Structure 1
Amino acid sequence: MESGGVKGTGEGPVKVNYGEQYAREKRKKILKPNVEQVKKDIHIQQIVKGVLQVARVAFN
């Protein structure tokens, strides 16, 4: 890639359960790329290209 940016997978984020958004690398916890986790209190964490994005969704 000529721009020096991060190369994506070309797929959308994978939905995972709480706690499965982490991976281990030499005893350190790191965030997995391209995952989406929905917590019990209805907010969504999405990790895309190593950046954590959080959105709160209000349901009536």
Structure 2
Amino acid sequence: MTKKKYRNGKVVTKRKVVYSRDRYGPRYRAKRNGYGHYYQGYWYRTPWWAGGGPTVVIRP
């Protein structure tokens, strides 16, 4: 059994973000056409780490 750690009265958990190819699509070490988002050493088509909020495009 692991002892629970508390900070400010709340249980502290360590979560590591894990990339899922099935869920988010392929990623590449080298830049490719259509893969314009760079994050932690990989190129992605869409920024999955941003949290899925709305995308706002402002055109001049």
Please confirm whether the aligned pair reaches a TM-score higher than 0.5, indicating the same fold. no
Bigger RCO of structures 1 and 2 (CA < 8 A, at least 6 apart): 1
Larger-gyration structure (1/2): 2
More helix by share: 2
More strand by share: 1
TM-score range, shorter chain: under 0.3
TM-score, normalised on structure 2? 0.26
